[in-house]
Amino acid sequence: MRILVTGGAGYIGSVVTRQLIAAGDQVVVYDSLVRGHRRAVDPAATFIEGDVADRPHVERVLADHGVDAVIHFAALIEAGESMKQPETYFRNITAGSLSLLEAMLAQGVNRIVFSSTAAVYGTPESLPIRENAPLRPTNAYGAAKLMVENMLGWFHQIHGLRYAALRYFNAAGAAPPLGEDHQPESHLIPLAIQAVLGQRPRLLLFGTDYPTRDGTCIRDYIHVGDLASAHLLALRALDMGSGQLIYNLGSERGYTNLEVIEAVGRVAGKPVPYEAAPRRRGDPDALVASAERIRTELGWRPQYTDIEAIIRTAWDWRAQHPDGYGDC
């Protein structure tokens, strides 16, 4: 199959690209490199620099490469930033995705796997969160992603688009030779590792007064390699005729921010220097997935179930790549 991977130079997109190529697919990576890394792109993939908002360019790429399906990652990802610049996030995520869908429609490409987020749920009524839980995002990032999910539903109903929306919880870890290197970095595990390594003075711990077991947020961490494998399963399901799929992707285990910080310290062999800071606007108290639907329907089985094992992969990658990909 010939797959266009938007955002394929990013953290998750690069790992999915590598797995697709290993499975025998032909991959075209389409990335603006605004936050992605050219060095993260598998050499067996065709790389094209571009922005999904450039509809004529996307149409040419789809046509020139005979693309059969799209996996769509290209988007900004910072929930905290989205509460300061919501207009940027709606333009980038929602308008950019609409441009991509219009290009696909024009070229007769009718299958897409969409990188969605647990942020579409907002503050859940109960845990674990199932796919039929109320959708009430508490930040602009989640709202923008939910708008795209709604668009996909309408394109399915009216144009026959076949789609899978995968709602990620917290992607983490490394899949050598690929790892996590955001600029700027905002994810807890790499920030904690950088603090231990002295690459930043300390970690800022946002919020210590949540109604949780130690006052810090609870999150569900899923290894990036396990996350990637779910995309291949969803793509094959669409290829077999499925039309509308929505799945949570998480480990089904929740850890507080303090528990994660302590786990990083155990892996590193010394404590993480951190400083308590006020809550960030839009951060829910706790997000823990139920992944029962994708386990039952597609047979997805995460290989990493322990937080320290996930952290170990991230620690080892950063130890070998102290400057990340070294291109920023």
- State in words which class domain 2-172+221-249 has: alpha beta
Question: Residue 48's CB: how many other CB atoms inside 10 A?
Answer: 17
The closest of 212, 315, 300, 316 to 264, measured between CA atoms, is 315
By DSSP bridging, strand 111-117 and strand 218-223 are unpaired
Q: Name the CATH architecture for the domain at 188-219+252-320.
A: Alpha-Beta Complex (3.90)
Any catalytic annotation for residue 141? yes
* 141, 247, 255, 274: the active-site residue: 141
Domain boundaries, the chain: 2-172+221-249, 188-219+252-320
Helix-strand-coil percent breakdown of the chain, rounded to 5?
40, 20, 40
Question: What is the pLDDT at residue 328?
Answer: 55
pLDDT along the chain (328 residues), means of 10: 98 98 98 96 98 98 98 93 96 97 98 97 96 96 98 98 97 97 91 95 96 97 98 96 95 97 98 95 92 97 95 96 85
> For residue 245, what are the contacts with CB-CB under 8 A and spacing of at least 6?
163, 164, 165, 234, 237, 238, 297
Residue-level pLDDT at 326: 84
- The Cα–Cα gap between 56 and 274 comes to 47
pLDDT in tens, 208-256: 999 999 999 999 999 999 999 999 999 999 999 889 999 999 999 999 9
The per-residue pLDDT for 251 is: 96
Residue 125's pLDDT is: 93
What pLDDT score does 242 carry?
A: 84
